[in-house]
Every structure is written in C-alpha cells, then in structure tokens.
Chain A
Amino acid sequence: MTETTRVVQINYWKEIRKDIQKTIGKLNGLVLLTHNSVEFFDIVDFLNNVRRDEDLNVLYISLINSYSQIKNVLKEKPLFSKKLFVVDCVSGFLVELQDSIDCVYRRPPESLEEMKDLIVTHIQISDSNMIVVDSLSQFINFSMPNEADLNNFYHFLNTMKEKAISITTDTVILLYDDKMGSMQKLPSMFTNMILKLEVIKEKIKWND
C-alpha cells in the first residue's frame, strides 16, 4: 500500500467514524449482533460510545459470554455510565447458579420466537433503555441466509417492534463482524441501521 493510499483510507475512515459517532451517540433501541465472534471488549466500546455520559440501563442477552467472563472484562474495561442487566443463557448449561440483582440465568432460546419472549420478559424486569442480543448466529446464518430464515428473521423484527421496542424507541441496529465472512444479503427490512463492528471500536489503527 502506498503512503497516499494509506492517507486516503485513514481520512475516509475518520469521516465515517465522525458520522457514526454522531449517529450512535444518540441511540436507544435494539442492537442485534449477527455473528458470535464479537469480543465483549468491543461491545463495551460500543456501549460506551452510545449516548456518552448518560445513565442508561442495558439489557444484555448473552448466548456467547458467561456472566463470570463479563464481570472479568468489566473489571478491566468499565462501562462508565451504563448499567448492565445480564440474561446469561450459557452458564446454566454447566452449573447451577443463583440469580442476582444484575444477572439471571436462563436456558438459551431455541428459536427467534423464544428469543422474543425472553427479551419482552426481561425488558420489564430490567427497566432497560437498550437491548443487546449477542448473538443471532444460531438462528440465522447471515453470511448465507436462505429465504425462509430471512422471512423468519423479518417476522421476529416486526414483532419486536410491536411488542418490545415501543417501550424504548423503534431503532433496530444490526452489528456485524466480517471476520466470519461477508454479509451476502443485507437484511435491511425493519432495520434502521447496519453497522460493521470495525467502525464502532474505540481503538483506531492510526495515530494523529
């Protein structure tokens, strides 16, 4: 890569990041992660960038990170003004655990319909302004979705807008990570924003 190309690329990304910061800086709503490869550190980055310095309650539905792992990450990288309520759908597979004030242990949903029920139930318990679902990868392969999976996904989004998100706002953000392959079909219906993970990370790859 030549130095000129590199400068153009950096400037491009800086502009994109400015726009993204403006947009996500004001977010509420439902954030759906499409792949299971996103590190929890990056989710913390994202949440810290959303409505900075505002106190927000975030409902985090985890099919990937155990609550114990989440707590370890948060010790190293705190969520400044956000309060997290975790629905841990993974630890219960291995050990019996007691619910606490900021975490409940549940069986993982086996369908998007069950995921919707899980969200609706816990959105009220946690009084959330924002919901993060990590991730939808076991319900739909976003790299190569078939028509039936996409229709099922749209039905889920539509129902979510009716049943749950009206509690907060009607924003749906799809957050994807192309480490797992590119998105062949962008599921844009009922989705307000589709963001690539790279653009919301706090750390940038260049120095000013």
Chain B
Amino acid sequence: MTKVMVVDDEHDLREMIDIMMKKEGYITETAENGGDFLNKIDGFQPDIVTLDVMMPGLTTKEILQKLQEKTSKPKIILLTVVRFSDEEKEKILQMGNVVDYVTKPFDFENLLNAIRKHLN
C-alpha cells in the first residue's frame, strides 16, 4: 500500500489533503511542521510527502538537508504560495528528494495528479 505524508502548518488544509488522500486509498500520516515530520518519518516511512514550503521553525532547506541525512526514499512534492522565477523553479527541482511543486491555492485534482504521476 502506498503511504503519503502530509506536512502543513495550516490545520484545515492539512486535514483536507489527508481526507483526500485517504479517499484515494492511500495510507496517510500528517505532521504540522518540519520537526514533527522528521520525528515521524522513521516510523511511518512514506513513499511520497507533500511538504508546505513556509512553516514556522525549520526552513524547507533545513528540512530537506536533515531528511537526506536520514533517508533518500520519499519523494517530495512542495506546496507553496510563493511565485518563483523559472530559473528558481529549475533549482528547486534539483533539491534533494524534490520531484515536483504545486502552487497554492491549488485544485485537489492537480495535487492528486502530481502524486499519481510520481508514484508511477
């Protein structure tokens, strides 16, 4: 069974994504910040993670660095409100386990498509 982890400090959004993922038949776990995510990852061992870019505490860069010290397994899809330039977008896709990013506000179907694409 595919495991998806949802990491977002916005409670309502986190819960909504979690419900959507469960409806799709994925096993899910949630985390409310980078520290929480890194604490839970060994126990849960997700295949794919949706990771909010702007959360209190650890920065995305720090989270990705610490993740790589632990495991290289999960694919990361970044969720972000930030509008980056094309050059920055290219750089983002070269970072650690990042395979994609989805700009907020997003259509859930787009997020699901991104997840399906990278699980295949």
- Contact among B53, B87, B105 with A68 in the assembled complex (CB-CB below 8 Å): B87
Nearest-neighbour CB distance to chain B for A30, whole angstroms, equals 21
Instruction: Report yes or no: B56 in contact with A68, Cβ–Cβ below 8 A.
Output: no
Chain A binding surface SS class: loop
- Contact among A64, A68, A92, A95 with B85 in the assembled complex (CB-CB below 8 Å): A68
Chain B binding surface SS class: loop
**Cα distance A37–B91 in the bound complex, in angstroms:** 23
**Cα distance A63–B81 in the bound complex, in angstroms:** 8
Instruction: Report yes or no: B81 in contact with A93, Cβ–Cβ below 8 A.
Output: no
Which chain B positions have C-beta within 8 A of A90? 53-54, 82
What's the A-B contact tally at a CB cutoff of 8 Å? 55
Which of chain B's residues 82-120 have a Cβ closer than 8 Å to chain A? 82-88, 91-92, 95, 104-105
Q: Which residue of A lies closest to B10 (CB)?
A: A138
Instruction: Report yes or no: A93 in contact with B85, Cβ–Cβ below 8 A.
Output: no
Nearest-neighbour CB distance to chain B for A194, whole angstroms, equals 22
**Cα distance A71–B54 in the bound complex, in angstroms:** 22
- Is B60 close to A, CB under 8 A? yes
Instruction: Report yes or no: A66 in contact with B61, Cβ–Cβ below 8 A.
Output: no
**Cα distance A92–B54 in the bound complex, in angstroms:** 10
Instruction: Report yes or no: A68 in contact with B84, Cβ–Cβ below 8 A.
Output: yes
Mark interface residues in A105-132 (1 if CB within 8 Å of B CB, else 0): 0011010000000000000000000000
Instruction: Report yes or no: A64 in contact with B81, Cβ–Cβ below 8 A.
Output: yes
Which of chain A's residues 169-183 have a Cβ closer than 8 Å to chain B? 180
- Is A36 close to B, CB under 8 A? yes
Instruction: Report yes or no: B59 in contact with A65, Cβ–Cβ below 8 A.
Output: no
Question: Given A93-B59, A93-B61, A94-B91, A66–B84 Cβ distance below 8 Å?
Answer: yes
Nearest-neighbour CB distance to chain A for B102, whole angstroms, equals 14
Interface size class of A (residues with CB under 8 A): 20 to 34
Instruction: Report yes or no: A69 in contact with B85, Cβ–Cβ below 8 A.
Output: yes
Instruction: Report yes or no: A108 in contact with B84, Cβ–Cβ below 8 A.
Output: no
**Cα distance A108–B54 in the bound complex, in angstroms:** 8
Which chain B positions have C-beta within 8 A of A95? 61, 88, 91
Nearest-neighbour CB distance to chain A for B88, whole angstroms, equals 5
Most A CB atoms within 10 A — which of B54, B86, B92?
A: B54
- Is A156 close to B, CB under 8 A? no
Mark interface residues in A70-105 (1 if CB within 8 Å of B CB, else 0): 011000000000000000001111110000000000
A-B contact pairs, 11 of them (CB 8 A): A37-B105, A40-B83, A63-B81, A66-B83, A68-B87, A72-B85, A90-B82, A93-B53, A94-B88, A95-B88, A107-B59
Using a CB–CB distance below 8 Å, which chain B residues touch chain A? 53-54, 56, 59-61, 81-88, 91-92, 95, 104-105
